[in-house]
Amino acid sequence: MSIETKYWPAESPGTGIEEAAAAIAAGGVVAFPTETVYGLGGGAGSTEAVRRIFAAKGRPSDNPLIVHLARRASVAGLAKEIGAVEAALMDAFWPGPLTLVLPVREGAVSPLVTAGLDTVAVRVPAHELARELIERAGCPIAAPSANRSGRPSPTLARHVLEDLDGRIDGVLDGGATGVGLESTVVRVVDGTIHILRPGGITREQLRQAAEGLADVAEEAMPAEAGAGMTAEGRAGMRAIDGGAGTTTERRSGATDGRAGTAGTAGIDRGAGTPSGEAPRSPGVKYAHYAPRGEMLLVTGAADRLPAIVQEQALQAADAGRRVAVLSCAEHVALYRADAVFDCGPRGEPEKAAQSLYATLRECDERAIDFIVAEGYPEDGIGAALMNRMRKAAGGRELSVR
């Protein structure tokens, strides 16, 4: 069943916000800009609104939502307790792209928001329109990214409409989002900060803000972190553990192992979660950010990338596929393909982060069925960028030695 999806343009944010806030206050679901990506918001206390969010996205019900607040003071109404480390992180990064997982106060949000966990994920977005919308709606807003489940997150209002027109009450257009990738999700356990999902706040920033107070764990969340999950949640996690660790060769249709035997490159990274390691967050086990075409990520020393990338692109073209190359600015002139995207300089991964999701969507629009992408250095926002690129590639990665 299709409903009318209202569009509130950027030029008239005043009325748009009023109508959008009224829709949320009345139990509706509305997409809005944040500094990371567009979110699909509904009142966090309204089980009916949250049900509509899951339905509109086609999102599995065991993947919990982030609750968005207009101001830090409101967090006390959601969380049972706030530790010193969490407080320091709020001081340092709110408003901003950091989500904290905290023990939930019973009855504070609809149980659908937390998907049966005893924790709630919370953030205060650094986007005026988002905070004003929450303020006017008069309630915390539960909001996942405003894409159909499995699709790249929306960084423009147009992307929201591509996925959700006819399924939601409206979209508030605030132009392009800033960061382009989602917030960093963290949880503090026994005085150690665990990054559940890399994002807009970098590991380096977290380390600096928590200096003398807490360490940032190098590894994924320990298995005990699932203690607050439902039995179904834990069973799902084990199933995923067992199925992960697949090799790139097995996943790869396009490379057919040729580069691996040519002596120039080796395939060395499997998909998803290495075996024996617990998933870091319920959302981690689901396919994400995926373009419709197949994607291959090529990583390694910058000067070795172009030969391998072009070879892969040509092979795929010879096989009759429509091919796109995602290139750093430095290499863009070297490539021949149906489409070549300039993702920005190697030293500025924030540019590539801003454009990644829009580029993946454009590949879909142009009916690209094979994407070869250059990897970026993994410092700073590069860590989150490469996390999303690996997910988009579904684990298909060639590492050039």
Which residues contribute to the site for Mg ion (CB under 5 A)? 145
Which residue number is nearest to ligand TXA in terms of Cβ?
283
Q: Which of ligand TXA, Mg ion, none does 99 bind, CB closer than 5 to 8 A by kind?
A: ligand TXA
Q: Where are the alpha helices (DSSP H) in 32-125?
A: 47-57, 84-93, 111-114
Residue 37 binds ligand TXA (CB under 6 A): yes
Strand partners, 189: 192
Give the Å distances, CA to CA, from 24 to 27, 159, 240, 316. Answer: 5, 21, 35, 47
Q: Which of Mg ion, ligand TXA, none does 101 bind, CB closer than 5 to 8 A by kind?
A: ligand TXA
Give the Å distances, CA to CA, from 28 to 40, 48, 385. Answer: 10, 9, 32
Residue 195 binds ligand TXA (CB under 6 A): no
Question: Is the Cβ of residue 121 or residue 389 nearer to ligand TXA in the bound state?
Answer: 121
Residue 39 binds ligand TXA (CB under 6 A): yes
Q: Which of ligand TXA, Mg ion, none does 393 bind, CB closer than 5 to 8 A by kind?
A: none
Q: Which of 53, 69, 164, 196 is the binder for ligand TXA (CB under 6 A)? A: 196
Residue 155 CA to residue 177 CA, distance in Å, equals 5
HSE-CB for 250 with a 13 A CA cutoff: 8
Question: Is the Cβ of residue 64 or residue 394 nearer to ligand TXA in the bound state?
Answer: 64
Q: What DSSP string runs through 285-304?
A: GS--S--SSEEEEEEE-GGG
Q: What phi, psi does 275 have (nearest 5°)?
A: -65, 145
Contacting ligand TXA within 165-184 (CB under 6 A): 182-183
Question: Is the Cβ of residue 121 or residue 193 nearer to ligand TXA in the bound state?
Answer: 121
Using DSSP's 3-state secondary structure scheme, residue 307 falls into helix
Question: Is the Cβ of residue 194 or residue 321 nearer to ligand TXA in the bound state?
Answer: 194
The length of the chain, given as a count of residues: 401
Residue 273 binds ligand TXA (CB under 6 A): no
Residue 296 CA to residue 312 CA, distance in Å, equals 9
Residue 322: exposed, middle, or buried by beta-carbon count in 10 A (0-12, 13-18, 19+)?
Answer: middle
Residue 119 binds ligand TXA (CB under 6 A): yes
Q: Which of 5, 46, 110, 114 is the binder for ligand TXA (CB under 6 A)? A: 114
Q: How far is the CB of 185 from ligand TXA (least distance, A)?
A: 5
Q: Indicate the DSSP class of residue 341.
A: E
Residue 358 binds ligand TXA (CB under 6 A): no
What region does 151 belong to: left with phi over 0, alpha with psi -120 to 50, or beta?
A: beta
Q: Which of 99, 202, 299, 327 is the binder for ligand TXA (CB under 6 A)? A: 99
Interface residues toward ligand TXA, by CB under 6 A = 34, 36-37, 39, 63-66, 97, 99, 101, 114, 117, 119-121, 143-145, 182-183, 185, 196-197, 281-283
